[in-house]
């Protein structure tokens, strides 16, 4: 992510999204009531000389500003985009009607200007942290066994699962030579996937899996791929080469060493700490919006973990309520962590209302 311009006198920040994670972060900070301006395209109908039968339409690129009424981040291997819908407040008068609806699609390398009634220090920190995090080297992660491989890329905020492939290796084949040929063909397929999807992003590759298959794949990669700046690390044993195995790899000591300051790993450590305190009954935790909101002004909150959906308001609190809560926690020197609703950590947070807190000390309060 790149912050091209920040002008708080006019409450505008101009941002360029450079990765799918950047689009996700924009989806968390752009809320209903904000205004955005970006390049977009719109189909314009022109009337021909023969009346309706002569009508023609043409898609034209233009700069349009809308007041946000909703947005949706769509992530896939083929395409990543943030769709922002709302009513037009600015655009070429010959082509658009002020007050009509339009959807702006923000993709990779696109630039967008975001206006808020007030940019809180917290929202600015999200953008500044994202800009710094974009400079951290990513990590390619692979869970592999004799029959399957699951490949992903890990950045500061999330694990993006790219591929899951089956090997076609037959365990029952009587000839070891045939099985070896099938295995080599499987490894070559993995090599091609890595060269196409991971090497353009990073030279750091972590491989985990059951038995010795991870070592055999590592040897194959070292013998067939360019060695310049390639860093292949053998990770822990896993249950298999599938998505479950890939998430098991996320908890390995090898990954902790490679990405010890990644937020996604800090999230896991904070949640593990929370669950540990819950099981011990230490009393220095809180969960649920109502309870956390009650104790925030005491300054007892050391760390708060909140699902990103809260930033857009809930049936318990409006967007303004959430912003005021986060501002208060930040003023009290509390750490704020926003969890993606699509992450593994979110499934654990949902059990506790989507929001938890680690406290500086045990605090008794009325429920």
Q: What is the pLDDT of residues 97-107, one digit of tens each?
A: 999 999 999 99
Mean pLDDT, rounded, of the chain = 89
Task: Output 341 or 115, whichever has higher pLDDT.
Answer: 115
pLDDT of residue 70: 92
- The CA-to-CA distance between both ends of the chain, in Å, stands at 42
How many residues make up the chain in this entry?
367
Q: Sorting pLDDT into bands at 50, 70 and 90, what band is 340?
A: confident
The stretch 334-351 carries a mean pLDDT of: 88
**At 69, phi and psi to the nearest 5?**
-125, 0
pLDDT of residue 5: 95
Which residue segments constitute the domains of the chain, with CATH numbers given? 2-133 (2.30.30.870), 139-258 (3.30.420.60), 263-359 (3.30.1330.30)
pLDDT of residue 295: 94
DSSP assignment of 13-34 equals EEEE--SHHHHHHHHHH--TT-
| Helical (H) or strand (E) element with 152 | strand 148-154
The stretch 215-224 carries a mean pLDDT of: 92
Tens digit of each residue's pLDDT (9 = 90 or more) over 282-318: 999 999 999 999 999 999 999 999 999 999 988 889 9
The stretch 149-168 carries a mean pLDDT of: 88
Going by the DSSP 8-state scheme, the letter that residue 46 receives in this structure is: E
The stretch 127-143 carries a mean pLDDT of: 92
Task: Output 360 or 59, whichever has higher pLDDT.
Answer: 360
| CA dist., res. 61 & res. 348, Å (int) | 44
CA atoms within 13 A on the CB side of 214: 26
Q: Sorting pLDDT into bands at 50, 70 and 90, what band is 213?
A: very high
Tens digit of each residue's pLDDT (9 = 90 or more) over 316-327: 899 889 989 999
* 144 pLDDT above the threshold of 80: yes
pLDDT of residue 45: 73
pLDDT of residue 145: 93
- Residue showing tokens 């030579």: 177
* 48 pLDDT above the threshold of 80: no
* 261 pLDDT above the threshold of 80: yes
- DSSP H stretches of helix in the chain: 20-29, 121-133, 176-197, 213-224, 243-249, 253-258, 263-280, 289-295, 319-331, 344-350
């Amino acid at each position: 992510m790149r912050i091209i311009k920040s002008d708080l006198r006019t409450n505008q920040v101009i941002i360029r999204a450079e990765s799918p994670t950047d689009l996700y972060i924009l989806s968390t900070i752009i809320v209903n009531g904000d205004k955005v301006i970006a390049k977009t395209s719109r189909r314009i109908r022109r009337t021909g000389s023969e009346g309706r039968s002569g009508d023609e339409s043409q898609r034209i690129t233009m700069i349009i500003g809308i007041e946000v009424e909703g947005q949706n981040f769509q992530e896939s291997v083929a395409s990543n985009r943030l769709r922002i819908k709302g009513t037009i407040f600015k655009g070429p008068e010959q082509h658009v009607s002020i007050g009509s609806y339009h959807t702006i699609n923000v993709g990779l390398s696109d630039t967008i200007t975001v206006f808020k009634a007030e940019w809180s220090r917290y929202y600015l920190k999200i953008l500044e942290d994202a800009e710094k995090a974009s400079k951290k080297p990513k990590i390619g992660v692979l869970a592999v066994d004799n029959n399957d491989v699951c490949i992903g890329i890990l950045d500061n905020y999330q694990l993006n699962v790219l591929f899951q492939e089956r090997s076609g290796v037959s365990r029952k084949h009587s000839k070891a030579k045939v099985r070896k040929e099938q295995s080599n063909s499987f490894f070559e397929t993995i090599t091609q996937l890595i060269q196409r999807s991971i090497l353009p992003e990073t030279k750091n590759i972590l491989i985990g899996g059951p038995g010795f298959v991870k070592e055999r794949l590592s040897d194959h990669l070292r013998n067939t791929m360019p060695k310049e700046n390639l860093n292949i690390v053998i990770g822990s044993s896993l249950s298999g080469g599938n998505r479950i195995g890939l998430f098991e790899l996320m908890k390995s000591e090898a990954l902790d060493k490679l990405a010890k300051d990644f937020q996604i790993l800090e999230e896991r450590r904070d949640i593990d700490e929370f669950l540990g305190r819950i099981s011990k009954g230490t009393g220095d935790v809180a969960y649920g919006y109502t309870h956390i909101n009650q104790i925030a002004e005491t300054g007892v909150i050391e760390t708060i973990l909140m699902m990103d959906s809260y930033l857009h308001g809930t049936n318990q609190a409006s967007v303004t309520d959430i912003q005021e809560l986060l501002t208060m926690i930040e003023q009290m020197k509390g750490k704020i962590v926003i969890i993606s609703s699509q992450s593994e950590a979110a499934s654990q947070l949902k059990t506790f209302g989507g929001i938890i807190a680690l406290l500086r000390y045990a605090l008794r309060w009325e429920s």
